[in-house]
Amino acid sequence: MPLIELKNVSKIYRLGSQSVTALSELSLLFEAGEFAVLAGPSGSGKTTALNLIGCLDRPTSGQVIVSGMNLGTASSRQLADFRLQHIGFIFQSYNLIPVLTAAENAEFTLMLQKVPKKSRRERVRRLFAELGIDGLEERRPADLSGGQQQRVAIARAMAGNPQVILADEPTANLDSHTAEELLELMRRLNREQGTTFVFSSHDDRVISQARRVIRLEDGCLSDDTGADR
């Protein structure tokens, strides 16, 4: 059974009297353990597709099934719970909570999962060491560089042991050297821990690192290369 399945998914946004088709009739399958990139210029529907996979949004038509759960029929409450348990997010602009320290940010999903403080601390300490940001636990996001913030964001996404981590343009705000490092880090996590990664990017250097490249254009699939099958 595939981990993520998109069947003839369309997403149409209404902007006043106009309607904008963000995705049209998109069908995709992802297996567990993949390291895939959604590529395409801005406005091609990458973010919309990621939002659908991440259970943040519902399709206008078609079906999105993630880990056996059908998005169309689940309640918002179930979706929130599903995201909490199964999905990790990494954002382009990191989106750390500014008032919390790096460690507290990474612990945030664990807190929502009601994991006891002690095991949370332990888990985050190990994650920080693994991600090469140990020693920065007590820093505030404002005192961290972009690369460091994104590593904290990865720690936050990883902390709950999700089946899939979704990253929307994770390197767009970083310089190429840092971006390279970060990508390498994500690949290592994918290799060593088997976490599924799906991210979006329009940067060719990033895209070339992915094992599977799914190209979108105007909301339609234009190319899908390197799939595991």
Partner 1 sequence: MTDYLHLAWKNLWRNRRRTVITLAAIALSIMLVQALHNLSNGVYAGMVDSGVRAGSGHIAVYQKGYLESRDETLYFEDRNLVDQIAALDGVEQVLPRLYVPALAQSSRESRGVLLVGVDPGRERLINPFLKTLPEDGMVRSSDSRDAVVGSRLLEELQIKLGQKFVVTAQNLDGTLHSELLRVRGVVSTGMKDIDGSLIMVGRERAGMLSGSTGSVHEVAVILSEPGYSEAVLRRIVRLLGDHPGTEAVKWERAMPNLANAIKLDYASQKFIFLIILLIVTIGVVNTLLMSVMERMREFGVILALGSQARTLRAMILLEALVLGLLAAAIGTLLGSLATWYLVAVGIDLATFVPETLEFGGVVFDPIMRASWNPGWMARIAGYVVGLTLLAALYPAVKAGRITPVEGMRHH
Q: Where do contacts with partner 1 occur on this chain (CB under 8 A)?
A: 51, 54, 56-57, 76-77, 80-85, 87, 89, 91, 95, 97-100, 108-109, 111-113, 117, 156, 160
Closest approach of partner 1 to the CB of residue 68, in Å:
17
| Both tokens assigned to 167 | 């990253």
Which of 1, 6, 3 is CA-nearest to residue 64?
Answer: 6
Closest approach of partner 1 to the CB of residue 161, in Å:
13
Residue placing its CB nearer to partner 1 in the complex, 61 or 95: 95
Closest approach of partner 1 to the CB of residue 80, in Å:
5
Residue placing its CB nearer to partner 1 in the complex, 172 or 227: 172
Closest approach of partner 1 to the CB of residue 13, in Å:
10
Radius of gyration of the chain (CA): 17
Amino acid at 11: K
Residue placing its CB nearer to partner 1 in the complex, 200 or 209: 200
Residue placing its CB nearer to partner 1 in the complex, 40 or 54: 54
Q: Quick check: 3 and 197 in contact, CB under 8 A?
A: no
Which of 208, 202, 159, 162 is CA-nearest to residue 187?
Answer: 208
Residue placing its CB nearer to partner 1 in the complex, 12 or 100: 100
Residue placing its CB nearer to partner 1 in the complex, 213 or 216: 216
Closest approach of partner 1 to the CB of residue 114, in Å:
9
Closest approach of partner 1 to the CB of residue 208, in Å:
28
